[in-house]
Structure 1
Amino acid sequence: MSAELAIARVYTRALQGIDAPLVTVEVCLAGGLPAFAIVGLPQTGVKEARDRVRSALMASGYDFPRAKKITVNLAPADLPKYGARYDLAIAVGILIADGQLPESAAASREFYGELNLTGELCGVNGILPAVLACRNEGREAVIPQQNQVEAGLLKQQQCVAGIHLRDVVEHLQGPQRLPNIATQNNPQTDDNQLPTGVGDISDVIGQDQAKRALLLAAAGGHHVLFVGPPGTGKTMLAQRLLGLLPALDEEEALEVAAIRSISGTAEPHHWLQRRLRSPHHSCSAAALVGGGNPPQPGEISLAHRGLLFLDEMAEFTRSVLDCLREPLESGEVTISRAAHQLTFPARFQMVCALNPSPCGNFDGTLASIRASPEQVNKYLGRISGPLLDRIDMQVEVLRQPDALRQQRETIPEPETPKWRQQVTEARSLQIKRQGCLNTDLQANQLSTYCRLSAEHHKFLVTAIERFNLSHRAYHRLLRLARTIADIEGTESIQRGHLAEALGYRALDRLLSHLKSL
């Protein structure tokens, strides 16, 4: 190597979906006209690192090699690089190449962080996937202090956090080592404690069938649609479903935390809690399924392992709703762009609320509405048949004046903890029996775990033909009947379980009745 040529290699990681591919930052100091160039497919935010790094090094009291030609290569060159997450790695690389730090300082470490003009370290998004990949490689991760709580979610990680560039340099030089980040203790979940902002199921007056549907939906992970006029409690019921779901286990929580880390919405202090996402009906397809440049996770990925609540479902654009069809089946969404393709997990449980007509007041008779049958058909037609096929339960939520006449003289006892215990037991039974929830049973598993007698099979097929349902609906009815049997503590599916599952087809009956008007 020429005496006028010095090269340093420092490791960091890019952000590509929920993955964190390794990036080698190669810094070359050479003679010639002074210059500072960054190559390796950097986007605008990465190119601006030249000014941030120069100012941060000088403000921190280190020499900046002004009289040399600086070339920074971010390898691999075909991987797009976004954001300011490479600032710290570039600064350390310059110091090593200039001889201000030993080459061994970066040999077994990875560096992440943005630098401001005074040399302070700023937090970056997507730190959790990066630290996880770094741990698997056996390296030490050097990160901003703003990200230390998030990084502490990982067990057995080798991670240190600094406030300023000087902290990092002193750590690399040896005398003043940064302490390792302590692993957070998982908070003990209380079965009687509801998630923040979630009410008890006893708050809902009446609506016994809808409450029963919530119990089944939570126990088997089924998607549910509430159909009824305004003010009958559809939204309240949907929000109570979150309180019936058990807390996430550690593996599931890490998946959710990684997605939130990428999107910049990480909540390390409540990372075991499931979340309810409720996008407005005016949201675009990109906001719902993900998009942008670089692609970011959408609402369905932010609802991973939680609930996606679509209120006023028919007000969503049909093309937006149809974007949900593939993720509902596969549990993931793939976003394709000209330069690259990213896949985000999207295994969510969908709960929807729908008015049965544009005016809201339709109970099956023309006297109850201010819209014509054609207008009602057009309104409900915004929801495609293939999407409805993927919703296991369609529950009618009608007005119940008798329930309102019953004045409550005492505060009702909380019901959610008791129901959540039932849900937890039913889910444990399903995992032990088949390794997944009933809603995730594959078609080739149904004959094993949802076997019917000849008489019960004939009953179900007759009902399918009468309601003109699809083969997919047949499979979903079997899964739902399996959940009903689990809640009832029955080993095999009985005719009553099939009949109850068929009773949760309110919109199919409504559309059939509408055609006869």
Structure 2
Amino acid sequence: MKQLLCATFEGIDAKGVEVQFTATKGLPAFTIVGMANTAITESKERVKSALLSNGFTFPPKRLTINLAPSDLRKEGSHFDLSIAALIALGNYEGDIGNWYLFGELGLDGSVTENTLLYPIILSLANQGIITRAIVPNVSLSKLSKIPSITFYGVDTLSDTLNLLKSDTLPETKTHTSTFNFEHIVHNEKSYYFHEEYPLDFLDIKGQEHAKRSALIAAAGMHNLLLEGSPGSGKSMIAKRMVHIMPPLHNNEILECAKLEILEGKEPTFTPSRPFRSPHHSSTGASIFGGGAHKAQIGEVGLAHGGILFFDELPHFSKTVLEALREPLEDRHIRISRVNTKVTYDANFLFVGAMNPCPCGNLFSTVRACRCSDLEINRYKSRLSDPFLDRIDLYVQMHAVNSEDKPSVSSRELHSKVRQAFLRQKKRGQSALNGALSDAEIARYCPLNEDVQSIIDQAIGRFGLSFRAVSRVLKVARTIADIEGDVDIGKAHLLEALSYRKR
């Protein structure tokens, strides 16, 4: 029995698959077993045509391909190459070694790419179970960004067979992920960013308090809720925040590219974080992921590492808003179905925008609000206290004034974010302030007696929960980082408390 290696997706992670082949006596047949989906079972015709087009003659035997483990559901046309190579090497007596093969076959034996190759191989690389692979030549430009793997590109099935039979492999190199972008270096690790701001904070006039909160939220990845009249600039601020986010490490850029492919886009490999803004009419499955037989990734998973923006927040269904509490707290989401259970990373910055009342004129100084107290209470009660407890920064935005002027650019804000990011890394933090655990809060957010007395008074006066206290401390830590201070002071803590919704 001969075997080669391939892989398939299980949720958002890849699982290795052994492609095994035997040719036994019996009526001539070609069978693929091992919970293969339609794309794999249809590969029999592609494999037959590719082999016959390249001068191979099928033996009058019973040919069986087994995809192990047999209890794992497999899918994808990238199994074509490994299946065809095993059949063609049926009579080969030499050792072919443990090779990973990925590629879809054309009827003439040409090897083409599959959209899932990049996320599958990246997942295998992150698990440390792949060191070399044979892949389509056309995929090398994307796949070569994945470090610590030696790739051998092929154009045809014949190239693949020659490579497997060869005693000496062609010269190639193990690629490392390096990018041509501006970067900062800490502990020999590069963190990349670019200073391109297609949407600039200079476009926003006034709203200094909201701009300050956007800077704090971006620097520490803190959840932000903006409340204000229509046209006050809530969406403008949210859309500009993605351009002032902290720099990305090599692996984070690769993960962002993986999410782009899972969404159906061509990967860009730029230090740009994702920005997801689902409509308030979106279903729970589209936002959180789901599916009857296979849990597909949703908006929450696609926003990992970036921003998830909910405009018109109270208009989202109550079910969606309450289900959002888990990823806001735990920074991952678990999708459970009868056939599958999948956990997605969901470490994103949540930004919500809402009007102060159904008509939107409650804060207006020139327009009268048409809403009754009952309508306003019903509108705001769609956001429960447990949900609001997970919001770090709450800002009320005033109406637009003719005297409002531009004050700060995205370039200036981004520079402050990078400086705060570097201070967090120099403290030895693996996560940004917004994602600190309780043990890390005790380590990185110590308070002296005077500052501790303020937080004690706030607990009694505002009825802060343990979660709220932790979030206030993390926001205060970020404010101190922005100001360049080593310790959290009174001014930092008081500003952090001012952002709590009461």
Q: TM-score, with normalisation over the residues of structure 1?
A: 0.86
Q: Name whichever of 473-482 and 431-440 sits farther off.
A: 431-440
Report if aligned partners of 1:198, 1:242 keep a CA contact under 8 Å in 2.
Answer: no
Which structure 2 residues correspond to residues 167-316 of structure 1 after superposition, within 5 A? 167-174=159-166, 180=172, 183=175, 185-189=178-182, 193-195=194-196, 198-267=198-267, 269-292=268-291, 293-316=293-316
Q: How far is the alpha carbon of 1:325 from its aligned partner?
A: 1.5
Q: How far is the alpha carbon of 1:212 from its aligned partner?
A: 0.7
Summarize the Cα distance change of 1:11–1:134 in structure 2 as closer, same or farther, 3 Å threshold. farther
Q: How far is the alpha carbon of 1:355 from its aligned partner?
A: 1.4
Aligned to 2:328: 328
1:86 aligned to 62, 65, 79, which one?
A: 79
Instruction: Measure, in 2, the Cα distance between the counterparts of 1:177 and 1:413.
Output: 60
Gaps of 5+ in 2: 184-191
2:6 aligned to 5, 12, 27, which one?
A: 12
User: Helix, strand or coil: the match of 1:457?
Assistant: helix
Q: How far is the alpha carbon of 1:394 from its aligned partner?
A: 0.8
2:410 aligned to 416, 431, 436, which one?
A: 416
Gaps of 5+ in 1: 1-6, 407-411, 510-517
Q: Please list the CA deviations of residues 124-172 of structure 1 after superposition, one character each: whole Å capped at 9, or x if unmatched.
A: 2442454353694465311123422221112332112223323323433
User: Letter of the aligned partner of 1:75 in structure 2?
Assistant: A
User: Letter of the aligned partner of 1:156 in structure 2?
Assistant: S
Report if aligned partners of 1:56, 1:117 keep a CA contact under 8 Å in 2.
Answer: yes
User: Helix, strand or coil: the match of 2:56?
Assistant: coil
Q: How far is the alpha carbon of 1:90 from its aligned partner?
A: 0.9
Summarize the Cα distance change of 1:448–1:170 in structure 2 as closer, same or farther, 3 Å threshold. closer
Q: How far is the alpha carbon of 1:233 from its aligned partner?
A: 0.6
Summarize the Cα distance change of 1:228–1:23 in structure 2 as closer, same or farther, 3 Å threshold. same
Instruction: Measure, in 1, the Cα distance between the counterparts of 2:62 and 2:42.
Output: 17
Aligned to 2:489: 494
Instruction: Measure, in 2, the Cα distance between the counterparts of 1:182 and 1:474.
Output: 48
Q: How far is the alpha carbon of 1:281 from its aligned partner?
A: 1.7
User: Letter of the aligned partner of 2:467 in structure 1?
Assistant: R
Aligned to 1:113: 103
Q: Kindly indicate which of the two structures has a greater share of residues assigned to helix.
A: 1
User: Helix, strand or coil: the match of 2:403?
Assistant: helix
User: Helix, strand or coil: the match of 2:182?
Assistant: coil
Summarize the Cα distance change of 1:220–1:265 in structure 2 as closer, same or farther, 3 Å threshold. same
- How many equivalent residue pairs? 489
1:474 aligned to 469, 472, 482, which one?
A: 469
Q: Name whichever of 472-481 and 445-454 sits farther off.
A: 445-454
User: Helix, strand or coil: the match of 1:288?
Assistant: helix
Instruction: Measure, in 1, the Cα distance between the counterparts of 2:125 and 2:250.
Output: 19
Q: How far is the alpha carbon of 1:185 from its aligned partner?
A: 4.1
Q: How far is the alpha carbon of 1:57 from its aligned partner?
A: 2.0
Instruction: Measure, in 1, the Cα distance between the counterparts of 2:74 and 2:398.
Output: 54
User: Letter of the aligned partner of 2:341 in structure 1?
Assistant: Q
Aligned to 1:160: 152
Q: How far is the alpha carbon of 1:480 from its aligned partner?
A: 1.0
Instruction: Measure, in 2, the Cα distance between the counterparts of 1:386 and 1:300.
Output: 19
2:441 aligned to 446, 463, 468, which one?
A: 446
Summarize the Cα distance change of 1:396–1:89 in structure 2 as closer, same or farther, 3 Å threshold. same
Q: How far is the alpha carbon of 1:192 from its aligned partner?
A: 9.0
Q: Name whichever of 174-183 and 374-383 sits farther off.
A: 174-183
Q: Name whichever of 432-441 and 310-319 sits farther off.
A: 432-441
Summarize the Cα distance change of 1:282–1:178 in structure 2 as closer, same or farther, 3 Å threshold. farther
Summarize the Cα distance change of 1:102–1:300 in structure 2 as closer, same or farther, 3 Å threshold. farther
Instruction: Measure, in 1, the Cα distance between the counterparts of 2:30 and 2:304.
Output: 42
Q: Name whichever of 121-130 and 238-247 sits farther off.
A: 121-130
Aligned to 1:55: 49
Instruction: Measure, in 2, the Cα distance between the counterparts of 1:363 and 1:427.
Output: 35
Summarize the Cα distance change of 1:198–1:242 in structure 2 as closer, same or farther, 3 Å threshold. farther
Percent identical pairs in the alignment equals: 37
Q: How far is the alpha carbon of 1:91 from its aligned partner?
A: 0.8
Instruction: Measure, in 1, the Cα distance between the counterparts of 2:243 and 2:120.
Output: 32
Instruction: Measure, in 2, the Cα distance between the counterparts of 1:20 and 1:53.
Output: 24
Instruction: Say whether residues 1:42 and 2:33 are aligned partners.
Output: no
Aligned to 2:457: 462
Report if aligned partners of 1:170, 1:177 keep a CA contact under 8 Å in 2.
Answer: no
Q: Name whichever of 34-43 and 135-144 sits farther off.
A: 135-144
Instruction: Say whether residues 1:350 and 2:342 are aligned partners.
Output: no
- Measured on the aligned residues, the alpha-carbon RMSD in Å equals 2.8
Q: Please list the CA deviations of residues 330-375 of structure 1 after superposition, one character each: whole Å capped at 9, or x if unmatched.
A: 2222222323322222111111211122212222999842222222
User: Helix, strand or coil: the match of 1:14?
Assistant: strand
Q: How far is the alpha carbon of 1:176 from its aligned partner?
A: 11
Q: How far is the alpha carbon of 1:455 from its aligned partner?
A: 4.1
Q: Name whichever of 126-135 and 21-30 sits farther off.
A: 126-135
Instruction: Measure, in 2, the Cα distance between the counterparts of 1:112 and 1:198.
Output: 38
Report if aligned partners of 1:318, 1:384 keep a CA contact under 8 Å in 2.
Answer: no
Q: How far is the alpha carbon of 1:95 from its aligned partner?
A: 0.9
Q: How far is the alpha carbon of 1:111 from its aligned partner?
A: 0.7
Q: TM-score, with normalisation over the residues of structure 2?
A: 0.89
Instruction: Measure, in 2, the Cα distance between the counterparts of 1:472 and 1:40.
Output: 47
Aligned to 1:127: 117
Aligned to 1:400: 400
Instruction: Say whether residues 1:140 and 2:139 are aligned partners.
Output: no
